[in-house]
Amino acid sequence: MTDIPGGLGLAPEQVEALLATAGRAPSLHNSQPWRFHVTPQVIELHADRQRNVPVADPDGRELRIACGAALFNVRLALHGHGIRPIVTLFPNRERPDVLAVVRHGGSKIPTPEQSRLLRAVAAWRTNRHPFSAEAVALPDQHALRQAALDEGAWLHIVADPAQRAGMRDMAVQAHRLQMDDPAFRAELAAWSTTSPDRRDGVPAGAGGSLPEPQDGWVLRDFTGGTGPARVPGKDFEDNPLIAVLTSHLSGPTAEVQVGQALQRVLLTATASGLATSFLSQIVEVSQTREELRRLIGGTRPPQAVLRIGRGWPVVATPRREVQDLLTEPTTSA
């Protein structure tokens, strides 16, 4: 078993808790594609290419977004210890899988908002189950937008009926394109209905109800066809809040940055008692991702699509052991 080192003035047991917090971030199919290298001076965030999901994410875009979400959790955990983190993205272009380096930036008492978001990490879940019919209040919507802005991104709330209708069509189209691909179906099956002793993937209990593409928003089926059937118009909310997270730029750096914004939005929602899930198909398929960019009328590339509402408690997906998240020693940037 790999020993957990101390770092940034933290004892090994504190680093262990910090990395466990980092590992609670969302990722495509709960693949958890991150690793960390810890020294007394830095914490390096590495992309774990062995955990890539190449059919759904051939360019590694969602891998980098997931790692950005884990990076935001690292920042929150350091704030919780009274440490101001200094983050450098892609510190060494000759080592492109080192996505970020975090250094000790001095002592600083966490703000009430940072403490609130840190508490939300353990409570956050991807909720693939039905939400209630209760609408997301405008103050909550403003808070979600502000969370994205605070991390240099933009959250577009899809309120226009024509835009919503267009997005529903895109979701169905993307779902069908993916499910028509045998390689995609095999990859999805490999990450679905995972066994109790597996520390990644999506177990059937977290998979939600079976999707019905012809009936509204498409939710991906992680149950292997064993989940409870949807009852059209009854068991799923008619009008969830749909939001598109966009970045100002494109490329790997922008994707890590927008991952941090995504996590801040998700934790802000959780802290406000809201449930969230993803409509990932739309942005995973290049054709519908471009259609979505044109639909919302912006030049910013869409990076994530969220379904937000009031839900009921759901089980957590499994997480890798902290020792498995550590890399072999490397030369720090």
What is the mean pLDDT, run by run of 10 residues, along the chain of 333 residues?
A: 88 98 97 97 97 96 98 98 98 95 97 98 93 94 98 96 93 92 95 86 73 58 60 64 95 97 98 96 96 90 96 91 83 42
Q: Which residue has the tokens 């994410």?
A: 57
Instruction: Check: CB of residue 136 under 8 Å from CB of residue 308.
Output: yes
Residues 196 and 65 reside in one and the same domain: no
Report the number of distinct structural domains present in the chain: 2
pLDDT (0 to 100) of residue 330: 45
Longest dimension (CA), the chain: 56
Residues 192 and 238 reside in one and the same domain: yes
CA distance 42 to 37: 8
CA distance 118 to 264: 10
Domain with 275 in it: 138-309
CA distance 30 to 192: 9
pLDDT (0 to 100) of residue 232: 47
CA distance 86 to 42: 10
pLDDT (0 to 100) of residue 315: 87
Could you say which of 62, 94, 124 is where a domain stops? 124
Residues 147 and 172 reside in one and the same domain: yes
pLDDT (0 to 100) of residue 234: 45
Residues 247 and 196 reside in one and the same domain: yes
Residue 316 is assigned to a structural domain of this protein? no
- Name residues whose C-beta falls within 8 Å of residue 287's C-beta, 6 or more positions apart in sequence: 173, 174, 177
Instruction: Check: CB of residue 308 under 8 Å from CB of residue 241.
Output: yes
Residues 76 and 165 reside in one and the same domain: no
- Name residues whose C-beta falls within 8 Å of residue 238's C-beta, 6 or more positions apart in sequence: 133, 216
- Order of all β-strands in the sheet with 241-247: 153-157, 241-247, 302-309, 275-278
pLDDT (0 to 100) of residue 193: 74
Give the pTM: 0.93
pLDDT (0 to 100) of residue 2: 66
Tokens of 177: 């394109």
Residue 175 is assigned to a structural domain of this protein? yes
Query: Which of these, 265, 296, 302, lies nearest to 282 by C-alpha position?
Result: 302
Residues 120 and 142 reside in one and the same domain: no
Residues 113 and 166 reside in one and the same domain: no
Residues 108 and 142 reside in one and the same domain: no
pLDDT (0 to 100) of residue 162: 94
pLDDT (0 to 100) of residue 225: 59
Q: What are phi and psi of 272, to 5 degrees?
A: -95, 10
pLDDT (0 to 100) of residue 196: 80
The conformation of residue 239, written as its DSSP 8-state character, comes to S
